[in-house]
Chain A
Amino acid sequence: MISAVTRDAALAFLLRSLALASAGIICLICLFVARESWLALDSTGTVNPADTVGSVNADGEPFQLSNLVNDDGWNPDGQQFNLLPMIVGSLLATFGSALLAGPLGIGVAVFLNYYAPKKIGWAVRRLVEIMAGVPSVVYGLWGLSVLVPMIASLSPIEQGQSLLAGILILTFMTIPTVVVASDAAIQAVPANQIHAAAALGLGRRATVWSIVLPAARFGLVSAIILQFARAIGETMAVLMVCGNIVKMPNSIFAPIRTLTSNIALEMGYADNHHRSILFLSGLVGLVIVSVLMLAANTFSKTQRLST
């Protein structure tokens, strides 16, 4: 018979270990992604060029980090690793979707809290929940077979897979994220402020515009940051609708390839520097998204503390 004290000590130890293991996963991820990126990072001049067989680019120079923006293009077989068009593609698609999903999502959240008749509000909330759970590959499939043909009919170059398709599909995907986060921010506005506004005879627009939204501003910023993090990391949907041609886009109808799609497209056969560079772009994405997540957390905490 094990004594209760021993059993409790064992339980405490077990729970602590499990919790630590959970927290350890993110460290493990950083560690392994960084380790696989090391080949690309390490060749920055510190390695003897003679050792870098297979990592010499077309001009016979050893690989340098600056190659990632200076090379003539993206041609892994020819040791050409210019990521710039993909960086630009990722940023354009993400910013574009933030510009659309932000105002739309906040509008829906305001609707849910101040304009929606009870039953409609309930239904829209459920729809938001459902859309948040729709797999990105389904968004991609729908984008590819419904949205892309529609864009093709409008496009001067008669091609639907484009930056525009990417922006729109990212917008649709991330609206639920914005709605959920800004809904929480709006609901966290203290009731006494709203009562005060009502007592002063403010109308619905004035209450929302000059009381609620300012009071919820940190939470709303947090919602936009979350949207941004989600959009920049998204892979499958953009992979399916953007055309994936590595070229600096010259119009909104031009096809693009994002960093994430690049990883998904080429991981299957990449090795050596090529593989390492894919991991490096993943590492950069990981760092960016982590910083964004922490910022979003800080903002939503700031709102909770300030009210």
Chain B
Amino acid sequence: MQQKLNTFSGIVFAVYVWTCALAFCAIAGLLLYSVVSAGVTQVNWAFLTQEPIDSGRDGGIAPIILSTVLIIGVCLLATVPLGVGTAIFLADRISGKSKLAIGIRTALDVLGGVPSIIFGLFGNAFFCIALGMGYSILSGGLTLACMVLPIFVRVAESAIRNVAVDHYRAAMALALSKWTTTFRVILPRAIPGLLAALTLGIARALAETAALIFTSGYVTRFPESLNDSGRSLSVHIYDLALNVTGGNDRAFATASVLVILLLLINVVTHFVTRKLLRQS
């Protein structure tokens, strides 16, 4: 009897677990398929190189791609030095264990959980108004940098920490300076991990919408400088889907560009991290 009951509950549980997995895969597959299949047929050279016409109902997304690239560029220029420096500090075997480091890690954890709309509020109040940058690619990029920083630091920190402890000890036993140890011994070995951090940061930044609407704005023409407002791919999707009647087709086309880009980044990151794992 007990045996039968065990078998029965085992089956019920297995069915439940498999159902969860299947449901997830079905939804994910449906979503990816319907976005890409609805959009990809409209993606061609002209779409990628033309300016939007009639609020985006027609034409292409060239200026939007340029704005996106510029926003991400600004974001990375701010994130990389700040993030790598912080990661080195946190991964160090002495300073990384200090009370200060624990505090900094907690601060970054909290920052990592802040909803993107709040970054939008902050970016608007701080970069656009207090620092007088207005609605601009600069404001948007810097706002994204604040947002991307925690995930970048987390991955970069573990990449640096993973550099084998023997290398670190060897450098110390040879009385190498901190400077040489950091720049000649540790960082070169951490490069694959730092690249993974970078691609993850880019993916996160590409996906962002809410933080950009009120910082980099939604002007569709070609930006003339970093002080110009510019619309990112994700903001373009939002605007077409919600504010432009008849914009759905182009919204799907843009979404499929974005999703395919993110898939590529995912594959690259996976490849890089695998290589990293094989090395260490």
Contacts and interface: CB of A to CB of B under 8 A. Distances in A.
Do the two chains touch directly in the complex (Cβ atoms below 8 Å apart)? Answer: yes
Interface of A: 4-5, 7-8, 11-12, 14-23, 25-29, 32-33, 35-36, 103-108, 110-112, 114-116, 124, 126-131, 133-142, 144-146, 172, 175, 179, 203-206, 208-209, 226, 229, 232-236, 239-240, 260, 263-264, 267-268, 278-279, 282, 285-286, 289-290, 292-294, 297
B85 A19 contact: yes
Given A19-B90, A26-B108, 19 more contacts: A5-B177, A16-B89, A18-B86, A19-B101, A22-B83, A33-B121, A36-B121, A104-B23, A107-B20, A108-B20, A134-B31, A139-B31, A234-B115, A240-B238, A240-B241, A263-B120, A278-B121, A279-B121, A286-B118
A32 B14 contact: no
Q: Which of A5, A27, A115, A278 has the most CB of B within 10 A?
A: A115
Given A104-B23, A130-B263, A263-B117, A209 B125 contact: no
Interface in B223-253: 234-235, 237-238, 241-242, 248, 251-252
Interface string B71-96: 00000000001110110111010010
A188 B89 CA distance: 27
Contacts of A36: 121, 125
B178 interface: yes
B153 A260 contact: no
Contacts of B17: 107, 110-111, 114-115
B111 A236 contact: no
13 contacts: A22-B107, A36-B125, A107-B16, A127-B29, A130-B263, A135-B207, A135-B262, A137-B255, A140-B238, A229-B113, A233-B115, A289-B113, A290-B113
B27 A172 contact: yes
B108 A22 contact: yes
Interface residues of B, number: 91
Contacts of A135: 206-209, 234, 237, 258, 262
A110 B121 CA distance: 39
A297 B23 CA distance: 29
B106 A235 contact: no
Interface of B is mostly: helix
A11 B116 contact: no
Interface of B: 6, 9-10, 13-14, 16-21, 23-25, 27-32, 34-35, 38, 81-83, 85-86, 88-90, 92, 95, 100-101, 103-104, 106-122, 124-126, 130, 146, 149, 153, 177-179, 182, 203-204, 206-210, 213-214, 234-235, 237-238, 241-242, 248, 251-252, 255, 258-259, 262-263, 265-266, 270
Nearest to A109: B20
Contacts of A286: 114-115, 118
B118 A141 contact: no
A248 B88 CA distance: 50
A27 to B, nearest CB: 8
A112 B115 CA distance: 29
B115 A235 contact: yes
Contacts of B251: 141
A29 B34 contact: no
A159 to B, nearest CB: 16
B242 A239 contact: yes
Given A29-B118, A206-B6, A268 B270 contact: no
B122 A28 contact: yes
A282 B118 contact: yes
Nearest to A123: B25
A-B pairs with the 10 shortest C-beta distances?
A233-B115, A107-B20, A18-B85, A293-B113, A135-B207, A23-B107, A19-B89, A205-B13, A111-B21, A8-B178
